[in-house]
Each structure stands twice: as structure tokens, then as C-alpha cells.
Amino acid sequence: MSKGKRIKAAKEKVGRTKTYELLDAVKLLKENSKVNFDETVEISMNLGIDPRHADQNVRGVISLPNGTGKAVRVAVFAKGDKAEEAKKAGADVVGADDLAQKINKGEIEFERCIATPDMMPVVGKLGKILGPRGMMPNPKLGSVTQDVSQAIQDAKGGQVEYRVEKAGIIHAGVGKVSFGDEALMDNIRALVNAVNKAKPSGAKGIYIKKISMSSTMGPSIKLDIPTTLSS
């Protein structure tokens, strides 16, 4: 089946206006997966907030109970003993000013970035590069820390950062199509409940407006919000 026909057939199985309970959505997503690679499962949440206001920003990290199924490359800004600790803990890239120089040249060979507090004067100068990519170390997210071993373990073990975009939408990967039904559902519940608990005090009206799930090449499936939150 050609790509166009496959996508069309998948979309025809999903009701455009219908919302699905979580288990039914997971089964439908897997049924529609007809590609020859293990697709990533993503969740999109439309929030009733205005991210332009500082008191309505939604951002955090959540350790998915069953991991993401994806190998994450981690860079660590550290010196001396902390640099050695990072290497022993499995960091893929470790450095200080030399690492900053590589990043400035566009050599970004990692997905997550961690720094010890004393390295922030160096890392701070990289804000225009790392910030838009969502990689800037942040003490509130546990990526600016003296405990680099734990931070590396968390990053490689299924920790996901969620961050609302300008349009009030959060996107996050929650696993792979090959995951078992329960494993996927546990991960989805963990993310959705974390975002729900992160509701800012400045948010008015309906907070979670829509939750959708999709695979890399599959159509979007709308989830029933009340049962997803209560399951």
C-alpha cells in the first residue's frame, strides 16, 4: 500500500469528532500502525491558558513509569571531580569551555543538557542556542545540580520535559507503539496528570481543552478527557 493510501485508510478508521476512552484509543493507534519501524507515541494537550503571561506558563518534568523507549544523549557541563562523576554515570558529552565552543559552532550532539551550578556563567551565554531547543539547564527542572549522577540517570531513564508553546499546546513523547497497552496507558496517565496538577493560578475557565494521541505516521486520535484524567 502506498503512503498516501495508507494514511487515508488510517484516517478513515478514526472518527473526526469522536473522543475515545484511553484503552480504545491505544488499540486503535496500534491497529493503524503499518510502517516498518517502531513509531513514537505522542500526546498533544491544548490548554486554556495564555503563555504570554508569566503566571500562566506551564513547564515541568515527569519520569514516565515505563520510560520512553528512546536512547537519550546527555551532555554535562562540569569540571574536575564532577566531570569524572558525569563520565562514570554515562554522560555522552562532558566538558566546560570546550563544550561551549562546540555548541557555538553548531555541534549539538545531544538531546538533554545538565550543568553544575558553578558552570552556569558559561552555560548562560548559550541561552540563544539552547533555549529555543528546550535544552537550557534549569534548576527548577533538576538539570542544574551538584548531583549529576542522578540527573543523568533520570534523563536516560525516561524523564520527559513538558513545556507549553505559544499557542497553548504541549507536545510530548510517551513511548513506542511496541509498548504493551498498560505500559502506554500508564505513561499517558502520568503525563496528563502531571500537566493537570501544574495548572497555573492565573488560568481561568477550562484548563485542559483537548487531549490527542498520535503515532509518528498515524492520524490524531482524540481522548476523552474525564476518563483519561480519572483512569
List, for residues 75-125, the tens digit of each pLDDT value: 999 999 999 999 999 999 999 999 999 999 999 999 999 999 999 999 999
CA angle 175, 164, 162 (to 5 degrees): 35
pLDDT at 57 over 70: yes
Q: What is the mean pLDDT of residues 3-21?
A: 68
pLDDT tens for 168-218 read: 999 999 999 999 999 999 999 999 999 999 998 878 889 999 999 999 888
Please give the mean pLDDT across all residues of the chain: 90
The DSSP element (H or E) to which 104 belongs, if any, is: helix 97-104
Domain parsing of the chain, residue ranges: 15-68+161-230, 74-156
Is the model's pLDDT at 7 over the cut of 80?
no
Per-residue pLDDT band at 12 (split at 50, 70, 90): low
Using the predicted structure, report yes or no on whether residue 2 has a pLDDT greater than 80. no
- How much is the average pLDDT of 49-59? 85
Overall average pLDDT of the 13-17 stretch: 70
Q: Which of 85, 90, 88 is nearest to 155 (CA)?
A: 90
Of the pLDDT bands very low, low, confident and very high (cuts 50, 70, 90), residue 10 is: low
- Cell numbers placing 128: 540563544
The rounded distance, in Å, linking the Cα atoms of 135 and 112 is: 6
- Cα dihedral sign for 149, 152, 157, 158? positive
Q: What local confidence, expressed as pLDDT, does residue 122 receive?
A: 96
pLDDT at 219 over 90: no
pLDDT in tens, 119-159: 999 999 999 999 988 899 999 889 999 999 999 999 988 88
Confidence bin at 231 (pLDDT 50/70/90) = low
pLDDT at position 9: 57
Statement: residue 74 has pLDDT above 90 = yes
In angstroms, rounded to a whole number, what is the distance separating the alpha carbons of residues 77 and 174?
Answer: 27
Assigned CATH topology for domain 15-68+161-230: Ribulose 1,5 Bisphosphate Carboxylase/Oxygenase (3.30.190)
Residue 119 confidence (pLDDT)? 96
Fold for domain 74-156? Rossmann fold (3.40.50)
Confidence of residue 8 (pLDDT cuts 50, 70, 90): low
